[in-house]
Structure 1
Amino acid sequence: LGGHRGAEALTVGRQQATPPPVPGPVPVPAAGDGGTAERSGGDELSEPLRQLNGLIGLRGVKQEVTALINLIKMSQVRLQMGLPMPPMSRHLVFAGPPGTGKTTVARLYGSVLKELGILSKGHMVEAARADLVGQYIGSTAIKTTELVTKALGGVLFIDEAYTLSSGSGGSGPDFGQEAIDALMKMMEDHRDELVVIVAGYSELMEQFLASNPGMASRFTRTIEFPNYSVGELVTITSNLVSKHYYELTDDAVDALTAYFTRVPRNATFGNGRVARKLFEALINNQASRLAANPPTKDNELNRLTAADVEPELALLEDLPVEPGEQPDAATDPTGAINAARSWKRICGLVGGQRVKEAAGQTLLRLCEGRNRRRGPGRTGNVLIGGAAGSGRSEYARLYTACLSELGLVPVGQLVRVSTRRELAPQWPGQAASLVAAVLDDAAGGVLQLDYADDGSGVAPEIAEALVAQMRSRLGDPVVVLTGEEPALASLRAAVPEVNEVFGQQWSVPEFSTDELAEIVLRHLVRRGHEVPDDVREALPRMAGQLPERTVHAAHQFSLALTRRTGSRTLALADLAAPPPPVGERLGGLAAVG
């Protein structure tokens, strides 16, 4: 495929009496899809693609590989129709930590290329520095040539390829460079018969590609393999357990989750290898446990419990947690989000479960996009709807803190403005200048716009100016627009372009009576009060009488109780008076988390 150029491709196309029908593209798995992606019509490519999409996790990897397969497939169709082929390289860089499935994906990639007719065999030959570099002058070129010849018609997979340019391995840097030079020549001589995939840690692979201009020109596509999340590692372990006819008890699953949450994610973390090693340890621990206490039932031989995980958890107790061992958003976005202080504060807020889930998914998509060298774009821009005093601004503030803590924005500032104050124009046409100024002030961080429409037409005018300028600088700054639900609905209708620059809308729900009581309780405790059990039990009844089901109303009630009691310990008598009317706003959820 890669050997055809210009006139040759056109000649081949003209020799076809009738071009073959254009096949449907391979479906790209949807975000979060860990299942299979079926092709219509019983396509013969469905099996390797089904295996690819059946792998645990690796959502971004699946999308990148599937997109490349689509590109190759359409290039074949263009060639058959006599059209010039787009420039492309089938050689790949797999960057990321060990144990993340790079070898498996490389093998499946070769199988797909064989069924596409790109490769004649589709087999995979694995190699490392020792397989390419000789022990004496002249032997390296011979070893490299023999290895590449063995891989012709398939995929040559070189693990830890960066060692070729680092001079490690005991053979000296010149021998490693000799292997690189020989490999580059063989790749050029057999460009239609060979696919080369080089793999290794992300930073080291960048240095490897920069060490040779010819290398960078041949390996133009890098696919990042992230660390597995805690849930994915638990699933991998569970699959190993089932494969060997064991079963996990519920407490064992909880213990596995605790183990993978606490295990250090440093540079040597082995991902799937850690899961396999843990499974072997569970089997050994179960054998020791049953030897000491022989089972009375046969099914106990197949059951793994939390007691079998406890020895491995105990080994983690003595491991100090260093700052450098915290999850890295570049390799373990899920772990990094869960470890972020700002995210923990979001999770600790009362109520709003759907908002929390939406915020978590947004942060995950932003991390994965950044790891594929993509900016926030419209994904980071959010509309937050809810009643006044429901905590919209607190979600915006903590969301901003998360973006900064995870390195998703270069500057962590939050600039907050309102359509009624800072952006209210004094003459026609001024809104554009006001919007441009606040966008510049928030550049590199987050702009929060409190949107309120009084029916005069000014608010939609400000929104139109905002959308127009966001288009040219999408994602810088990230924009969070807050407002009441009816106002946001009117905004979407009046300015449909809003949907083009805001990726989603979060809706802060109304609080239940129990949630309002919890907010009141937390506010009282934060202010130093002691709340006896009888008062705690009575709070839901009083919270149900609040004039608004908002955080603000709960805070007002708490302050009224504080003024009424005049002492540290509250009493039932302090709850006798009716809830006070809603007065001056006190702010969002600052006293809730």
Structure 2
Amino acid sequence: MCIDRLKALDINHRELFTAIYGMNGSSEVYITKDLRVHNLREALYLYLKEEGYTSLFYDDKAFSYEEEPLLEFFNFSSEKGDSNEPTRKKDFFIGKGPMSKSRNISNISNTSTPKSTEQSHHASIRIESSGNQRRFRVEQSEGFFKEIFAYSKRNPHKKLAVVFVTPTTLKFDDDQRRVILNLWNDLKTDYRRNKLAIKIISLYDFDSAKLFTQAFDSASDELLFLSPFKDLIKKDIGQDDDNTGKIVEGGRKDKTVFFLGDPFRDEIGNMLNRRRLMTKEGLPHLFGKIEWDFITLRLWQGMASGKSNLSLICDYLDCDNLDEMIERMDTVKAIDKLNSLEGIDNIREQFALYRQALAAHRRRSGSGRFRPHMALMGSPGTGKSTVARLFGDILREDGLLPKGHFVKVSCDELIGQYIGETRPKTRAVCEKARGGILFIDEAYGLMSGKNSHGDVNYGAEAIEVLIQFMEDNDDSLVILAGYTDEITDLINEGNKGFRRRFNELGFFEFKDYSPDVLYRIASKMIKVPTTENFHKSLKGIIRSKWAYRNKKFGNVGDMENLINQIVSHYTSLNTHEALDTAHLPNELRILVDESLIKDGSILAELNGILGQQEVKAEVSSIVNKLVADRIKLQLIDNYTPQLPKLNFLFTGNPGTGKTTVARIIGRVLEGLGVFPPSKGNIITEVSGNDLLPYTPADVKKLFEDNIGKVLFIDEAYQLRESPRVVADIVANVELLEYKNKLSVIMAGYPQDMCELMNVNAGLPRRFKEVPFSDYSNEDLYEILVRKVETAPNTIMDSEQCRIAGISYFASLQRGHSFGNAGEAENLLGILCANRDDRFIKGTPEQRNDRDFAQRIFPCDFPNYSDTVSHPSNSAQDVADISVGITESSFDGTIDCTAEDEQFGVTQGNDIYNSVGLLESEKGMGTAFIISVNNRYVITASHVVEGNSKFKFTLNFGDRLFQTNARLLWNNAEQDFAILQLDSIPEGAKYFVFDTATAREPATSIRIVAFPLGRQVSSKAVLTSGAISNYEENLTIRNEDGTQRRFNAIRTEAQATHGSSGGPVVLADSMKVIGVLHGGMNESGFFMNVASDISQIFNESNLRFLK
């Protein structure tokens, strides 16, 4: 007789106290199998009776629907004859159900209580009748709570359910409440200790968890809204007490609160049957076309989706409305809809196995426990939401889900913004989905860092509630949806208990739709006339987009965007012609119309760059390959293009256009459809230094964020300091989800990039080197002309100034730090400054001449003379100047022994106070302080040779210190030189030499230097390594025939140009064991060499601290 939505209460497995909320308002009705209409109290009475409970109800007085429970509870002795008199157990219904016509649906809320002519068996009990229903009420119910506790003492194992109907009216003063709560604590203790059979139930008239919990905050003296009942309810519904994070003790999680939701399928059937029997004609016209069970099912689905009360259906759905609703019913079964979907054959096959397993479990013939929950994984637009809805409908039609309604939420709808919000929000959503499907789209967002606040991870809280819901509700289905990798990570790493809540059959992987399926889907979206040629082009466009798709490919969603783009452009043309290829936007037509590429527009920007023929040839070969593939896509069915390598090492000096070409490559790949249209910059620029602290997860996210873009890593050689980051980059470019889905370009100086490639053997195999040559002097002048053309208020006669400009560029010293286009930019600044200076000094007539004010003349060029010669135009014709080896003429004593120990270098951070950059007319290197008192620094001899003026720069803290230096002593053979500074800053520190420690292989060392001078850092850089071997009397021959000979410390520790002269120190003590000479390439193996500092102690006029 009981209805299914009350059976879900499962009272026998609940705790002492149960709170019921939801669809339990006074207007809701409940129709039982005998087709009678009940309010909640009556329906609950029938359910409790079926479960073997004697039930008592209390509003302002105690009542029941039988007399005997009241007699027994209050310990009344019968005043009317034998205790076995049958009237005591008489059914509370007077009539014979709906056919008696003594009661209809509309009078369920009738509150009139006329006296019955029947007599009760005790004077305190009054019999009330309403319609065809009677109930028994005790006139004097004071001390009702005491009676509850007294009854439980007398009958500890008799099943009694006490239901408080209107808890808002149960108000007591402090003294009364104190007495009642003491009795409650005693009852709770007895319940657990003696396993009492009593149940206390309270009906709360709230339809949402939010309103339910808010009511407790405004309660003042309503007993069942205050502690300890409030604490039990808030803990179970998912809210910590007072938002403090304190966990409330007592009660059992998920066994205190019960959400009474929408009617189940049985009540819909009962309602229809009641209508049929109570209508004069029997409604034969309503049920002639569609099966009875199917009408019941569809009405139930509609109610579950629309959240309708059964009372509303009963009151307002008349025969005509019901007839109209049935006429509109979708008669196609959900399983047939699933079978009609294209491109999901693997999903259908797996779901068939899933259905069988779930059905077997429901029949209890399956082995073990079958977890019904699912993970739908795949790219966007593959039908996950659509299929999930159909799964729910199918399982409902099979009777495997009680309701099967579909509740779709995002992570934001589960997660709160403040402490205490997440659990009730998630619990409320779970309750809403009970008996149906809870579909969480992009569920991996529950693991996102944005869901954390301080020490509280709100996403983790939501996961905990979900896991509990999944564990306790096999009649409900939780579906997680999103990308395959992210959902897998969520299930495996989001919570250790998550994975156990799924069966293997619950993991569904949705594949990307094939181009043919996408074409058929897209074609159905077009509602305007089209030509055959258009459909051929549309198929080609889709094939192209599919061939170059990446992880973010939207499948059906992308097709919707594509058709919207096509139709919007076609509409804007305001033509009456049928939609044709000619009406496509250019960015789409270029994918199928070869004529748009033959005009050269795709490479126009690249061809406009000066020089760099090798670079242009490389990009042109990429374009040719992509165009050939595109043509083949149109000609050959199932053709799969193989993308050319899109990862490059751009090697070249500054200003050679590496960044510019990287941007052009991005735009070319976008224009050819390899990359999707960018919603911002097509290129992301980072430096090698930026990536040094990156973890493997950081590198993966960097790749993820730049799918469909160019990732440009400038000064990539800086990554030599972190081989692990290099390894992570190499590994990610080979992963299927990133391979050729973005273009990774690493750029830097040729020699340094060569050294970077030695860090990881996989780099040369996975990145193609593209060399950028230095610009010729003529090219540099042309770059200057172009810059002048775009500069405001600036003009120049290019022919008159050509010789002066080319002569200027020829006068510049070229090397690995030569600025190329940057030199042209610098020259333009000089020219504008000289022009303005000339203008200010001009005659009054000239200062009123606009042309004179804007024009650059040959005389504005540096070092201009009327007899300037024609310089060489080749970047390779600039000769290197040889530096001869010279000895110093200093014959005094250099004493470094009188130093204060507190200023000695003892740790890594001290290097900034002691190691500086030494610059001269012809180059630069590293030098370091060996005496603070006497201002001495030491460096390598080859750093100072051939120079007479020196500047020493020290950068420590937030200060930059510069001073001049003069050469005191030089030993060219052993490659040592000592200089004296004009001044020394406060806080400077000196290095101590080590002569005692043996220079044995594997000894840990450090090199301190300025690699590449100022180009890498304005501060010294410290790198670590070990001694590889030691060689006495190493001989190095110079180009001029002279030679060096010294005892050499060899190491693989990294150092580059600009590092010469830097200290090589012991890692533990920071004492100096050598001065860095430079690198040597022996048999293809690069190694750095330092001159052993102990040799210097043989000099009689030099004294040092040891």
Common topology (TM > 0.5): no
Give TM-score scaled by structure 2 length: 0.24
- Name the structure where helix makes up a greater proportion of residues: 1
- Name the structure where strand makes up a greater proportion of residues: 2
Larger Rg: 2
